[in-house]
């Protein structure tokens, strides 16, 4: 479809592939939020890239009419960073699950955040390894019984938003897949942000976490107060330690800071003033 024919409606961003998630999976709602956000922002498909790792939620690039890259387990962020550095004009969105992003991909999460890579990272958090038969993940609540924790999970759960803030992300939000409208707005704000924008979306797994989990989570969702200051790191971290009965959604943290693209452009300018010879560069390692 040519640019002049593209109408920027949510349906225009759908591919011919049909999602194969389990009926009732929260990822369906997240995908719909992505369609709506791209449509509202009128992002050109040929100027947008969606990168994923491996897992249930990492199937998402195949369902979106943009450039897509389904990479290795836990490796979405280094590839997304490379795409952004190679072509800064592109809108780069990385997607994946909590196991993909915090377990095997934890170090990449750290470095993408601290470098302030100019991209959006959407984590669909189902608190379990859904694709690989229901083992405990880093976000699985303490005491939960799973396929790998028959007598209850002995490890405290990790809060992805707390990690992102601590790592140095300049935009951190939390959404709930049961609130498509709210999640759509958060995705739009994340993509508009210049810097590393992390959006953790609570996305229930009906297969391994139960059919009633969506209702339970909906009862825990709270909204930010009107006078909330997202520039305060202390305020944001406080909202990641509320306890098991409250899930506050919205923009938790946002500041402005030079991006990795900005920093690399400055280095390129400095290097161009006087390019070192090969002999000079090799001499530094002698």
Q: What are the pLDDT digits (tens) for 13-28?
A: 999 999 999 999 999 9
| CA 55/CA 77 separation, integer angstroms | 14
Closest listed residue to residue 63, CA positions, set 85, 110, 31: 31
Residues in the chain: 286
> First vs last Cα of the chain: how many Å apart?
55
pLDDT in tens, 147-164: 999 999 999 999 999 999
Structure tokens belonging to residue 176:
């709930």
Q: Tell me: the pLDDT tens digits for 180-235? A: 999 999 999 999 999 999 999 999 999 988 888 888 999 999 999 999 999 999 99
199 vs 249: CA distance, rounded Å: 10
CA dihedral 212, 209, 75, 42 (to 10 degrees): -10
Look at residue 85 and tell me whether its pLDDT is greater than 90: yes
C-alpha–C-alpha distance, residues 25 and 262, integer Å: 38
Residue found by looking up tokens 């396929």 in the block: 147
Residues 122-137 pLDDT 10s: 999 999 998 888 899 9
**Would you state the torsion angle of the CA atoms of residues 62, 68, 72, 75, taken in this order, to the nearest 10 degrees?**
-130
Domain 3-256: CATH class, spelled out:
alpha beta
Query: Domain boundaries in the chain?
Result: 3-256
Q: What's the predicted TM-score (pTM) here?
A: 0.93
Where do the H-state alpha helices sit in the chain? 27-41, 76-86, 98, 106-114, 160-167, 180-192, 206-209, 213-220, 233-239, 260-273, 278-283
Q: How many CB atoms lie within 10 A of CB 178?
A: 18
């Amino acid at each position: 479809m040519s640019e002049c024919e593209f109408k920027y409606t949510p349906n225009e961003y759908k591919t011919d592939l049909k999602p194969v998630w389990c009926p009732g999976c929260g990822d369906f709602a997240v995908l719909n939020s992505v369609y709506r956000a791209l449509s509202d922002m009128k992002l050109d498909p040929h100027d947008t890239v969606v990168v994923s790792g491996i897992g249930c939620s990492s199937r998402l690039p195949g369902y979106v009419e943009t450039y897509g890259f389904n990479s290795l387990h836990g490796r979405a962020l280094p590839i997304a960073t490379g795409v952004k550095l190679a072509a800064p004009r592109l809108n780069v969105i990385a997607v994946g699950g909590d196991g993909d992003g915090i377990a095997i991909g934890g170090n990449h999460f750290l470095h993408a955040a601290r470098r302030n890579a100019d991209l959006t990272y959407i984590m669909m958090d189902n608190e379990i390894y859904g694709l690989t038969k229901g083992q405990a993940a880093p976000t699985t609540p303490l005491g939960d019984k799973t396929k790998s924790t028959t007598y209850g999970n002995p490890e405290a759960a990790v809060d992805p938003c707390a990690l992102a803030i601590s790592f140095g992300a300049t935009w951190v939000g939390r959404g709930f897949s049961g609130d498509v409208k709210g999640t759509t707005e958060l995705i739009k704000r994340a993509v508009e942000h210049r810097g590393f924008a992390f959006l953790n979306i609570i996305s229930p797994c009906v297969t391994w976490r139960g059919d009633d989990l969506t209702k339970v989570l909906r009862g825990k969702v709270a909204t930010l107060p009107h006078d909330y200051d997202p520039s305060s790191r202390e305020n944001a971290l406080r909202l990641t330690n509320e306890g098991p009965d409250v899930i506050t959604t919205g923009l938790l943290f946002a500041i402005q800071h030079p991006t990795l693209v900005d920093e690399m452009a400055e280095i390129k300018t400095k290097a161009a003033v006087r390019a070192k010879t090969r002999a000079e560069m090799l001499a530094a390692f002698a």
